[in-house]
Chains A and B, each alone.
Chain A
Amino acid sequence: MADTPVPSPTKAPSVEEGSARLHLSRRQALMALAGAGSALSAGPLLGALVSGRTGRADRGLLANGAEAEGARRWAMVIDLRRCDGCKKCTEACQTKHYLPPEQEWIKVYTLRDRTGVEFNVPRLCMHCEDAPCVRVCPVAATFVNRDGLVLVDQEKCIGCRLCMAACPYEARYFNWTEPTIRPPLPTIPTPEFPAPQQRGTVGKCVLCVHNIGHGELPYCVVACNMDAIYIGDLDADVATNGTETVRLSTFLSQNNAIRLKEELNTKPRVWYIPGHGEDLGW
């Protein structure tokens, strides 16, 4: 090593070594920067705008908006003029799905509006047509079924909770521990009926897909004494709360129905008829 010529500090690096490095660096730099600079953009390119619709999360929902054969486009309408905050919907859902008390797949908030009036808002999963939770799931455990419902496959879920971060309606819950409330008989959990739930995975309202598939109403619709919760089909343009049946589109427009956080462009499928319990007769 003593024989190796070493440039003295006062001299510039030898021309041969310097230019060799510079010359090759430039070529390499162009290549490296072109590709590596794209390593930077790989992130945003790879998906900020690629929603779950083009991934396997999009089972059954065709990206071009065409309708799958025989599929329904489920929707819910909640009439806030009638909600009295009794939480029977929550109770029924939790009982029938064997949920722990802190997991309220349908949760009734008591809010106060700008005029100081209190009103009750049941919030369930919006089953958004452009669901942010579906988009961010790293393993496609959250997916859209052929009827447009957003479901969770708890066999696949790795428990990263990015979907919980992405949901603007705080509609998702996590099983932070092994569930203690379990079905009485051994059941095989499915995304359509995740009971018993798995520790370390995400659970949320499934719009009672296990019921509505064969003509049974969701548990919250049945449980509501005030008939405030409707289930509907956007394609057949019909909705019912079990007692009354309406043409969904006219029902929404005539009652000035709104959706929550419309500006986020998630295209939720739950409409609310604004009100403060006017129809409660109190």
Chain B
Amino acid sequence: MVANARTPSSRDALHDAAFRPMEAPGRWFWPVALGLAGIVAVAFGAYVYQVIEGLWVAGYNDKAFYGIYEANLVAFIGVSYGGALVSAVLRLTNARWRAPITRMAEAVALVSLVVGGAFAIIHLGRPERIWRLIVDPQASSPIVWDLIAISTYLLATAIFLYLPLIPDLATTRDRLPARAPRLVRAFYRLVALGWTGTPEQRRLLNRSVGAIAILIIPLAVSVHSVLAWAFSMTSRAGWHSSIFGPYFVVGALYSGVALVVIVVAAFRKAYRLERYISLDHFVSLARIMAVLAAVYLYFTFSEMLTAGYVRTREEAPIVAVMLEGAYAPAFWGFVVLGIFVPIMLSVLSATRSVRYLVLAAALAVVGMWLKRMLITLPTATAPLIGDVWGTVQLTWVAIVITVGATAAIPLGLMLIFRFMPILAVDEMTELLPGSAPAVGGEAR
């Protein structure tokens, strides 16, 4: 039950809510932030140890040359896709209900993209030489395509976050207390670009945001496609599959929307935004999640069926180990807990509550991380000559770094909303000026 955003009192309430992380975050904020920062610091220390000692400390060996870091790279960049979907696609389809959650979705996209990109460096044996990728790249390498795609998408995501933020930065500028430092005031004056909300400015902004919303979709598709192609441009059974591009994109969308659900639920609770983000938002997101889960299941089925039916000499062991062998518990666990249960929780009316939908989303995120491990490990350890499989080790270094990256995302989000309002105030005022937010387009 959202009050009319037009009246001064409701507008003030909206602004108060949107700026709560900046102005009155609550006593829990700094302890949690410092705790997360501590975890990230420990992870960084583990990484330094890894650089000095070599990658063996992360559990790698010649018969298991790819593992958790590569799975994390795909997973963490994958969860950044929620932003592209919620913000860009929902904008282009005129789904007004997206308004209260676009800011969080875009922020999640940016933060998780940066953290995911870090894994591209973490998995290298000589990370100090990445400058060579810029100075002397070889265009035929999928890793060069990765660099190009990720950096382009990063720029586009940053622009896509910034442009609709301009009106809100103007509001922030206006809301700055008198005792705010001059530098801060100058900063917000700079980035707000003198926005005053004139029709001309609004026209310019809408045009630009519309353009970037269109442009960011193929860019987003390209990022996860080239990430997938780093695997499928090899002849290894289990990786050399033409479905990999679309497979990874759909997987990223699924896990991305799921992460948006979790982040929105968490910040809604933490900053008391229940007034603006209702159960209907979660239901809509969960429905999208369910559809994506079904598509992902379809792709997985197609993969397993194609490989398992023909069972070439190279592919047969991978299928066997996945469906009935050492990785079978993980695989079927993923299918049940990572696909079916989230779908059930998302569509059943009995589980139509924020708690269950967040559970569904959590299962989806963890399940998709597990699935990326299932994509990476069997093929990386499968023998190409003879029949001796490699063995994977999960070491403390790898675990600590993964946990650190997981902690870096909420930390990054908490810090980001100290600089910008957590709700897209201007968009909400534009899109939802009167009655309750239109969910699924009912109230127009």
Contact = CB atoms under 8 A, between A and B. Distances in A.
B129 to A, nearest CB: 5
A139 B125 contact: no
Nearest to A57: B138
A200 interface: yes
A212 interface: no
Interface in B232-272: 233-236, 239
B127 interface: yes
Interface in A31-64: 32-33, 35-37, 39-40, 42-44, 46-48, 50-52, 54-57
B6 interface: yes
B326 interface: no
Nearest to B128: A158
A50 B140 contact: yes
B141 interface: yes
Contact of B433 (A9, A102, A121): A9
Interface string B97-138: 000000000000000000000000001111101101100111
A171 to B, nearest CB: 9
B142 A161 contact: no
A234 B257 CA distance: 57
A109 B53 CA distance: 31
Given A46-B139, A174-B125, A169 B385 contact: yes
Contact of B125 (A25, A51, A161, A168): A161
Nearest to B203: A20
B1 interface: no
B218 A40 contact: yes
Interface stretch (B79-87, B220-228, B298-306, B353-361): B220-228
B384 A200 contact: no
Interface stretch (B61-69, B276-284, B333-341): B61-69
A8 B138 contact: no
B275 interface: no
A48 B380 CA distance: 21
Interface stretch (B206-214, B285-293, B363-371): B206-214
A57 B203 CA distance: 50
Nearest to A136: B141
B430 A6 contact: yes
B238 to A, nearest CB: 11
B206 A159 contact: no
A222 to B, nearest CB: 24
A249 interface: no
B308 interface: no
B140 A139 contact: no
Contacts of A159: 55, 124-127
A197 B431 CA distance: 62
A264 to B, nearest CB: 5
B54 A55 contact: no
Contacts of B231: 165
A170 B383 contact: yes
A47 B53 contact: no
A158 B65 contact: no
Contacts of B202: 17
A199 B127 CA distance: 12
B203 A17 contact: yes
B51 to A, nearest CB: 8
B145 A160 contact: no
B218 A39 contact: yes
Contact of B233 (A36, A42, A48): A48
B139 A50 contact: yes
B145 A140 contact: no
Most buried by A among B143, B217, B234: B234
Interface size band for A: 35 or more
Interface string B409-435: 000000000000000000001101111
Contacts of B177: none
Given A6-B430, A36-B219, A160-B124, A138 B138 contact: yes
Contacts of A247: none
Contacts of B139: 46-47, 50, 55
A279 to B, nearest CB: 23
A214 B200 CA distance: 76
B66 A10 contact: no
A166 B239 CA distance: 10
Contact of A17 (B54, B125, B149, B206): B206
B400 to A, nearest CB: 18
B435 A9 contact: yes
Given A140-B138, A174-B65, A198-B126, A162 B218 contact: no
A1 B62 CA distance: 64
Contact of A199 (B54, B197, B383, B432): B54
A33 B125 contact: no
A189 B5 CA distance: 70
Contacts of B65: 161, 164-165, 174
B129 A158 contact: yes
A137 B125 CA distance: 14
B60 interface: yes
Nearest to B433: A6
A40 B220 CA distance: 9
Contacts of B62: 102-103, 164, 173-174, 176
Nearest to A111: B386
Contacts of A110: 386
Contacts of B152: 39
Contacts of B234: 132, 136, 162, 165-166
Interface string A142-159: 000000000000001111
A217 B221 CA distance: 52
A134 to B, nearest CB: 9
A102 to B, nearest CB: 6
Contacts of A69: none
A36 B127 CA distance: 31
Given A9-B444, A165-B239, A25 B133 contact: no
When A and B form their complex, which 9 residue pairs have the shortest distance between CB atoms, in order from nearest?
A159-B125, A200-B125, A47-B140, A176-B56, A177-B54, A138-B143, A138-B141, A36-B218, A6-B433
Interface of A: 1-2, 4, 6-10, 17, 20-21, 24-25, 28-29, 32-33, 35-37, 39-40, 42-44, 46-48, 50-52, 54-57, 102-103, 109-111, 121, 123, 132, 135-140, 156-162, 164-166, 168-170, 173-178, 198-201, 260, 264
Given A161-B125, A166-B235, 6 more contacts: A6-B6, A28-B207, A40-B218, A46-B145, A121-B385, A260-B385
11 contacts: A10-B444, A17-B206, A20-B203, A29-B211, A39-B149, A39-B219, A40-B225, A50-B140, A123-B385, A162-B234, A177-B56
